[in-house]
Amino acid sequence: MKKNKIILLILGVLLLTSVMSCSKENEDENTKTQNQENQNQENQENQENQEQPSNSEGKITDWKDGYITFYGQPSDNDSYPYPLPEMEKGYYNVAVGVYFFPDYILGSAYEIKYNDKTIRVVGKDICPDGDNSWFDNTPEGFEFLTGNKGLGKVNVKWRETPYYTDKNLVLKIKSGSNNWFLGAFIFNGRYGVKKVELSKDGKTFYEMKPFKYNAFWELQCPFDQYNCNLTVRVTDRYGHTVTGVMKMTQVEDGKTYDLGKNFEY
């Protein structure tokens, strides 16, 4: 009987040891898995602005030759009135050469490749001094792409792509607008915006004009904008159209209006 108790005691110790070992292995495995997930998340964040394959949806042009530089501070004659450097959804804002191509469309998105690195950009302005295939990037974007801001200007490959977003088109009122003059920016377009039209009655539309350097759209309004619903019709470079309604009580600088949808890919 005593011998049996000793055997049972030994078996109990062995079983407890085995359970503790399995528990430790599971704990180590869970820790390893969590560490791997954290590392994967960190790697994904680090890759946000690095080369990303184009979405299979949408219209993508062939690669073409061009070159890229960067602009200075807003007070510089060669950079005014370009937008300040900013990032949106992994894209850099750029200005493009005034002779970039005859039908340059504001808000068009591009991929720019230099050696083994690619960045995505959105054209927000026109560079008055840039010639054909010229991109004027933010200093941060240029340094990220080339690794050396001191290069000043480099040859690149570029192609036009959609701006990949799930957001709706947004119209933002430009500062300085009033009851008889309306300036507006259009954001989030999957393709560059070719035409913006406004209507007070939903029937007669008035076409807004791109301002100097194509930074925004403007209209000398032939109608009162107070306490009304303005119909906005936006057309992209491929003929896709989005129509939305702005419920206006008064003209407010910086106010944004969600147009309810975006262009189809």
Per-residue pLDDT tens listing for the chain (265 residues): 555 555 545 545 455 555 455 554 555 555 555 555 555 554 444 344 433 434 446 889 999 999 898 876 543 333 333 333 344 567 888 888 766 655 567 788 999 999 999 999 888 777 766 666 788 888 888 999 999 999 999 999 999 999 888 889 999 998 888 888 899 988 888 998 989 999 998 899 999 998 756 668 999 887 777 778 899 999 998 899 999 999 988 888 889 999 999 998 8
Q: Where are the domains of the chain?
A: 64-161, 170-258
pLDDT for 10 equals: 54
Any idea which residue has 């510089």 for tokens? 76
Question: In this structure, how many other beta carbons lie within 10 angstroms of the beta carbon of residue 121?
Answer: 25
Amino acid 46: pLDDT: 38
Which pLDDT does position 17 carry in this prediction? 56
pLDDT at 188: 87
Q: Do 64-161 and 170-258 fold alike per CATH?
A: no
pLDDT at position 82 is: 35
CA nearest neighbour of 185 among 71, 58, 88, 76 = 88
The gap from C-alpha 25 to its chain's centroid, in whole angstroms, comes to: 45
Domain 64-161, CATH class in plain words:
mainly beta
pLDDT value of position 54: 43
Give the CATH fold of the 170-258 domain.
Immunoglobulin-like (2.60.40)
User: Any long-range contacts for 83-91 (C-beta under 8 Å, 24+ apart)?
Assistant: 83/124, 83/125, 83/215, 85/138, 85/139, 85/140, 85/141, 86/138, 87/49, 88/122, 89/164, 89/165, 90/48, 90/49, 90/52, 90/120, 91/120, 91/121, 91/122, 91/163
Q: Provide the b/e sequence for 209-248 (b: ≥16 CB within 10 Å).
A: ebeebbbbbbbebeeebeeeebbbbbbbbbebebbbebeb
Q: Tokens for 33?
A: 């898995």
The string of pLDDT tens digits covering residues 122-142 is 887 777 666 667 888 888 889
Residue 93: the pLDDT is: 82
Q: What is the pLDDT, as a whole number, of residue 221?
A: 83
pLDDT of residue 138: 82
